[in-house]
Each structure stands twice: as C-alpha cells, then as structure tokens.
Structure 1
Amino acid sequence: MISHKQITHYSIHATDGDIGGCKDILFDDQDFVARYLVADTNSWLPMSRKVVISPISVSKVNTDEQWLAINMSSQELKDSPSIDEHKPLSREYEETLFKYFGYGYYWIGPGAWGDFAHPTELADKEMEQTLAEDAAEPANHLRSCSEVHGYDVATLDEDVGHITDFIFDHTGWSLRLLVIDTNNWLPGGKKLAVLPKDIDTIDWSSHKVHVNLTQEQLMDKPEIDMDKLADASYLESILSKAEQ
C-alpha cells in the first residue's frame, strides 16, 4: 500500500523517460477509489497546463525506489486533454480523456472500475459512445487529497482532530484507510486509522469530514505507524482492528 504523502514524492516514468512527479490524487468519495493522479509536469509543460493520469495507465509501482511507470509516451500525455486544477473535473472532461486514450468507461458497470476488478483491465476496452449518452449526468464525486488534508473531523458528538493522510492499495487503487491526527484536539495526540465506510460526508463548505462514529468510538480506532506501510502483515492487522 501507499500513502498520499508518499506518492507526492514519487517520479513518473513514461515509456520514453521521466516526466516529472505526482503532486496529488483525486479520489471518488462514493466508491472510495483513486480516479486520477495529478502530474507535476512544470519541468516540461507550461505552468498553466495541468494533466491527469488514470490508474488505468499505471503499469508498475516501485515502492522501494519511489517511482511509478505509465504505459504512454511523454508526447501522448502532453497532448492529452488538460484540466483546470481549481475546478472540479466534469464527466464531459472524463469522457473526452477516456476517448483520447481509448479506455473503457469506469462508470459503466456495477463496480468501482465498471465490470472489472482492476483499472488496467479497462485499457483498450473502449465502449460504445451511446452507452454513455444514455446514462444520466451524475453528481461530481471527485475529491482532491491535498484539499481534504487538514479538514476537521466531526464525530456524532464533537469535532475530534483532522485528516492527515490517505492510504491506497496501489493495485486496484482503492482507498483503504484515512488517517486522523488528534493532536489539535488532544495534546500529544495519536494518528488513528479509520475505514472509508466510517465516512458519512465530506463537506467542502465547512471543510469538515463527518464520520459515523462517536468520539469514544473514534478514539478506540487503531493507532497507525506511517513508517510501517511497507509491512503487509502490519497493515492487515490495522485493517482488522479498524473493522472492530
């Protein structure tokens, strides 16, 4: 697994060389899965132009050397539809992006990645355009990890701590855990791990994440050591405790 803070230090390798780093993750707050990596391409693209990379394109993640590889060239990424990072991504933009790369639409099908278990299975699975045209325009569920980082956490009783990190499975790119720092509420506080299912709503206007937990239930969640994310057995233990 990999945290949001970790991946912002990763470099991105295209098929023809290094193209910069990853500056953010956009996640779906309904399916709790990473939809896009925001590429930091200031070294070779104008600062006004921002591009995103779907996990469909990610062919390898090297956690030891801190890089990820994508199955496209730097020119393909450069020519891809750009975004305004200060505005939410629309479904219209997503359709344009997926058509450009020839990907199947993740929003057609029952799962987080449509009919498939992993995002890479949507590569070269371009769907008929009419399928998307028949679908109703959905609400935007994309959230920036960088934006939500620092949001206060509201329990059923009172505010307790703030969001400090996100932990993703870098195979299926599901959001497995959110990390809450209680230091601003309790001096010498802890970093607690909660599951996505514990989240009720993410409120942009109030900058709060509402959880379906009482203050006592939240404080009973497992404390997590962010230096042990490479230890699979440790993470399984944290996930098991978070379920309780």
Structure 2
Amino acid sequence: MLRSFDDLVRYQARMGEDRFPITDLLFNAQDGALKYLMVDTGGWLDSQQALVAASLVGEMTVDTAEVVLKATPEEFAQAPRWEGEHQPLFPILSNLPPLVVGPFGGTYAPLALAAEIDAETDAEDADRDPRAEAAMKRFETAKSWLGVDIFGRDGALGVLDDLLLDPETGRITHLVIDNGKVLSGKLLVVPYSVLRYRAGGGHLVLDTNAEALGKAPQIDQIDRLERHWHHDVHNYYMIPV
C-alpha cells in the first residue's frame, strides 16, 4: 500500500514511548529515493528538525497513523539537526521609516535593529549542523514541491497536488496532479518516471502533453493508495509497474 505525503505529515514518528511530528521528507529528485524523514524534536519556541536516515525508517501504520523509527536513542541523538532557513530581517525592515515610535513612546531604528539581529543570527549559523546543511542542499523536500507548476511538451499541465511514497521500496512512485479538470472524488496520478526534470525556476517538466494527460485514467481517492490501479496507469504511459 502506498502512502501519500499529505497523509504522512499527519502521522507521528514513534521511537519507543516517544512521539515526534513528521514535518517533511528529503528525497533524491533523480529517482525519487527517500533519503531522510524530517521530524520535529523541539517546542513551538525552539523548533528543531531531526533528519532520520531512510535506513532507520520502519513500518508506516495506517491504523495508528505512526511511522516506526528503528533508531536507537543514541542514533536519534546523533541524527543531523536542521534549524530552518535564516531569513534576513534587513530587506524586510528596509521599507520602514528611519525611526519608529514603539507602543510605549520610545523610538528605535529598524535598520540598526535588523543589522544587529542579523549579525547575531549569522554568528549562530556558524554553529549549525553541516550535515543537515549539506543534505538540504543536495536533496529535495516534499513540501517545496507541493503546489509547483507542472509543464509538458506543449505547455502548462497543472500543479502538483501530492506525492505517493512506496514504503517497501523507499521511493516516491507517483505524482498527483491537479489540472483543474479532474472529476470530483477522483485523482490524476502520473508515474514518477514520467518526470523529466525540475527546472531552475522550481517548476516540473513531464514527458507528456495536455491531451495525453487529459485522457489518462483517473483513480478513486478512496483507492488511491491501493495497488490495483497501477496496471491501468502504467500501461497507459507504457511504463513497467
């Protein structure tokens, strides 16, 4: 049974008695191979993401909405930690007046404040986990793909609505596309191998066209994770299951 990314981010990762919210997946864009499961280990004030290697990801259980982690506490503690992107404040606050009156009558200079905060953040960035930094640069995050435009050989095809993951192979196997013409209660699913590349602008390019996509089999949302529809979809695109 396949798992959709939209469902997985509602799951929790379980390690012994501990539970962690799942926030994202890191995968190789070339073949869809899962590389890391990203889980939130911190509170709302100090959110920190642990990158759990795919080899340590175990069973994904629908009934309990859990993903079992095969990591020991020591392995989990040593997993790369990602602290999120640093968004410089200087460009944001540069549109404010040179001096701003605060709620208690005091004044402050937004640009000077932004420069001070950015300098402190840059110092903190020097201590960021280089393993996580390298992984985030090398691999793709599932969240960054959702909602991106999809193009084919003859123009726009729609937007990416979801990704389907096969827990047995540890690979993303299908793209779920919203072309604005899908029947109610149906999904338009394309094998991942139809993907040609992700362009520099962020959009995806498929080896198909609008006419072929419009005639492709649409599957029931209820049955979207079962395998019985694989043959219909893969035969249509002449791709082995």
TM-score norm. by structure 2 comes to 0.69
Which of 156, 160, 164 aligns to 2:153? It is 156
Q: Unaligned regions of 5+ residues in structure 2, if any?
A: 87-129
CA deviation vs aligned residue, 1:89-148 (integer Å, no higher than 9, x gap) = xxx727x99xxxxxxxxxxxxxxxxxxxxxxxxxxxxxxxxxxxxxxxxxx651111111
Residue 196 of structure 1 corresponds to 192
Query: Is 1:223 aligned to residue 218 of structure 2?
Result: yes
Residues 109-120 of structure 1 mapped to structure 2, 5 A cutoff: none
Pairwise CA distance, 1:8:
0.5
> What one-letter code is carried by the residue in structure 1 that aligns with 2:49?
K
Aligned length: 193
Separation (CA, whole Å) in 1 of partners of 2:45 and 2:75: 13
| 3-state SS in 1 of match to 2:38 | strand
**Contact 2:37 / 2:52 at 8 angstroms: preserved in 1?**
yes
> Which structure would you say has the larger Rg?
2
Separation (CA, whole Å) in 1 of partners of 2:182 and 2:237: 23
Residue 53 of structure 1 corresponds to 52
Q: Say if 1:68 and 1:166 are closer, same or farther in 2 by CA, change over 3 A.
A: same
Q: Quick check: which one's strand share is greater?
A: 2
Q: Unaligned regions of 5+ residues in structure 1, if any?
A: 98-139
**Contact 2:219 / 2:229 at 8 angstroms: preserved in 1?**
no
> What one-letter code is carried by the residue in structure 2 that aligns with 1:71?
K
| 3-state SS in 2 of match to 1:24 | strand
Which of 189, 201, 210 aligns to 2:205? It is 210
Separation (CA, whole Å) in 2 of partners of 1:208 and 1:44: 32
| 3-state SS in 2 of match to 1:77 | helix
Residue 167 of structure 1 corresponds to 164
Residue 36 of structure 2 corresponds to 36
Residue 6 of structure 2 corresponds to 5
Which of 120, 123, 131 aligns to 1:93? It is 131
Pairwise CA distance, 1:231:
2.9
| 3-state SS in 2 of match to 1:219 | helix
Identity rate, percent: 19
